[in-house]
Amino acid sequence: MGAASAILFPGQGSQTSDMRDLVERVRPDLLEMAVSAVGEDPFPRADEGTNFAQPAIFCASLAGWEALGRPLEAFMAGHSLGELGALVAAGALPERKGLELVALRGRLMHESGLAAGDGGMFAVLGAGASEHAEEIADGHDLTVANDNSPQQVVISGDKSRFADAMAQAKELGLRAMELDVTGAFHSPMMAGAVPEFERALADVTFSATAEATTVISAVTAQPFTDPRRELAAALTMPVRWREVLLTLHELGAQRFVDVGPGRVLTGLAKRTLSDVELVNA
């Protein structure tokens, strides 16, 4: 028996200039669905905000999975919005409903970011980033938003607190870089997005995943048990991606396949795990 594989679906920040071409070539019907769900083609505006980036990345990821032959592997996981792609691929959620949820999620996060005010995110980079990130965040009333790898953590919150927090990171021998985003994602500043998303999730029927396929939640770093609750919580809770990768490895995954766009997730796996096979779609 070959080594178990994990199919990984990326989140925001993984967009590439050629992802629309892939969708148009492999899944033109998905492109039509995206235009319908968003109200316009989201791809040309993917760099403008979550309301366009999330549906575009979702479609490109499913097209990448399609190009691989729609593999149903032992494990699947998604980074932030990628969770919805993973659940669709695993058969737990109809594709159209998944796209509608992604479009709504992207819009609500964009609107919540604008309404909450001066929120943002910055990356802490370097050896020991994951060890010191919580200390840095807690000391400045900020939130660890994305624990991506031992060398990369993203902190989220009120921008007015960034200067001192970033200075502390540098004092610890780490690099700190503010990100070009429109809100403090995966923090309490996204609370305004939760009620409407919860209402939409309440109307969705989630099925069992395909036989022998397990989808890992980025909120708990364990298999999904209650997708409605876990997907809603993901708006304000950290993405525990480093722990997701460790969980997948502990469960037996030896081959990690990033369905794209971009190569963000295989890069994070390379920095987190050793002696594993990394594949990009």
Q: What is the set of active-site residues?
A: 80, 186
Q: Would you give the DSSP letter of residue 220?
A: T
Sequence-distant contacts of 263-270: CB under 8 A, at least 24 apart: 264/10, 264/13, 264/14, 264/79, 265/8, 265/10, 265/14, 265/79, 266/8, 268/148, 268/149, 268/152, 268/241, 268/242, 269/8, 269/245
Token pair listed for 122? 């910055």
CA count, 13 A, side-chain hemisphere, 87: 30
**Do 223 and 247 meet the contact criterion of CB atoms below 8 Å apart?**
no
CA dihedral 166, 169, 170, 174 (to 10 degrees): -130
Bridge partners of 8, per DSSP, are 77, 258
Helix (H, G, I), strand (E, B) or coil at 157: strand
End-to-end CA distance of the chain: give it in Å, rounded. Answer: 23
User: Which candidate, 223, 267, 213, places its Cα nearest to that of 244?
Assistant: 223
Q: At what angle do helices 19-26 and 28-38 cross, to 10 degrees?
A: 120
Residue carrying structure tokens 């999904």: 224
Q: At what angle do helices 241-250 and 264-272 cross, to 10 degrees?
A: 70
